[in-house]
Amino acid sequence: MIYIKKILGDKLQDYTMVLALVALAIIFNIISGGKMITSSNFQNLISGNAYVMVLALGMMMVIVIGQIDLSVGSVAGFSGMVMAIAVRDLGLTWWVGVLLSLAVGALIGAWQGLWVAKLGIPGFITTLGGMMIFRGGVIWISKSISVPAPRELKVFGAGHLPEWGPTFTGMNNSTLLLGIIAIAAFAFTQLRKHNRSKKAKELWPVLVRIALVSVVIGYLTWIFGTGRPGTSFPVPGVILVVLVIIYHTITQRTTFGRHIYAVGGNKSAAALSGVKVQRTYFLTMLNMSFLAALAGIMFVGRSNAAGPSDGVGWELDAIASVFIGGAAVSGGVGTIIATMVGGLVMTVLNSGLMLMGVGADRTQVIKGLVLLAAVGIDVFNKKEGRQSIIGRLFPSKSK
């Protein structure tokens, strides 16, 4: 157990959902006869769910401050519809339409943020109203008819990294380069963290950690890079990775990120320590709707049209991803990386059940049970002071 802790760190409970994710993928791959872990399926997993995981990024921050946003699906659908109609009827170029959509999302977020920050209306009530307003709005402005999207948007919703250079690698070289960059970046950050740490003395756990993660990244690079000709790592996945890096940095390395956790942990104490609580609420809600607009753009690009039913139920998957990732219902706890793991658990669960031929009705039941089980086990273990799954698999000899 002591060696496992040296390699993975003291917080082994953080890897519980990672273990569950790997187990789900392997189990579904066996049951489906090897259809789960394939290039085409993994590419579809990322392309088809990236927009929900973009929503989960913002939702994690909203939940950490102790609020919740029920309007994100409606805002995404409304923003995407505004873009499609503006490009079709006003003759705007596609990129101006994208900027307009993002601006609409930001304005909606600012409006809802004012209700939460200035008037003190709980986010649940504010965004419930927003959900009804913008769900009705998207049906109203579209007249219940789908609107074609600019062709240029397809690359953002369903595009792949381009092929270039020699073909002797037998892989998509853009994907291969992306994997090499990911391995190098992880190794660099781990070594720099070790060098800056005053407590760390042994180098071998860092090297083992780098080797393990490099094997995982290398395997995923091979999976994504060896698909049928013309495919590679999806562009929506690249957008998601960039956003994960940005928001992980914001939440973990900036003053604003610290304020988010302070407000969620204890609003009164945060205010007494100088944190601008209203400003934190406002910016967090604004950011959520901005990301909702981006998610709407990605979905419209994938479906080649903006529809009146776009965004229905998206908020539920985003919220589930955050809570399965270990966020606390009361606020103050949650990370970007864990949220992405939670989102991947939901994604793999959806895909696996579909490959098994499970209907949409039973899929919803199973997803609901998984959400309750994940949150219930996490809350119970925290209250009882119990170990994580990994802790039980590798019990300490000292105990």
* Domain residue spans of the chain: 2-22+46-159+234-393
pLDDT, residue 113, reads 96
pLDDT, residue 368, reads 87
CB–CB of 16/325 below 8 Å? no
Measure the CA–CA gap between 132 and 69, rounded to whole angstroms: 12
First to last CA, the chain: 11
Sign of the C-alpha dihedral computed for residues 132, 134, 140 and 142 taken in this order: negative
* Structure tokens, 256: 């604003």
pLDDT, residue 390, reads 41
Q: Which residues pair with 234 in a beta bridge?
A: 160
pLDDT, residue 389, reads 43
Upper half-sphere CA count for residue 67 (Cβ side, 13 Å): 35
pLDDT, residue 228, reads 85
Long-range contacts of 28-35 (CB under 8 A, 24+ apart): 28/348, 28/351, 28/352, 28/355, 28/356, 31/352, 31/355, 31/356, 32/352, 32/355, 32/356, 35/355
CB–CB of 314/131 below 8 Å? no
* Structure tokens, 277: 């609580």
Sign of the C-alpha dihedral computed for residues 117, 121, 122 and 123 taken in this order: negative
**2-22+46-159+234-393: which CATH number, 1.10.8, 1.10.1060, 2.60.290, 1.10.3470?**
1.10.3470
∠ CA 17-19-23, rounded to 5°: 115
Measure the CA–CA gap between 256 and 275, rounded to whole angstroms: 9
Size of the chain in residues: 399
Q: How far are the Cα atoms of 70, 143, 243, 260 from residue 103, in angstroms, in the given order? A: 20, 22, 18, 23
* Structure tokens, 347: 């994604």
pLDDT, residue 396, reads 45
* Structure tokens, 217: 């990244």
pLDDT by residue for the chain (399 residues), tens only, comes to 555 655 566 555 567 778 888 888 999 999 988 899 999 999 999 999 999 999 999 999 999 999 999 999 999 999 999 999 999 999 899 999 999 999 999 999 999 999 999 999 999 999 999 999 999 999 999 999 999 999 999 999 999 998 886 667 888 899 999 999 999 999 999 888 888 876 666 787 888 889 999 999 999 999 999 888 888 899 999 999 999 999 999 999 999 999 999 999 999 999 999 999 999 999 999 999 999 999 999 999 999 999 999 999 899 999 999 998 888 888 888 899 999 999 999 999 999 998 888 888 888 898 888 888 877 776 666 665 554 444 444 444 444
pLDDT, residue 75, reads 97
Torsion-angle region of 326 (φ positive above 0: left; ψ -120 to 50: alpha; else: beta): left
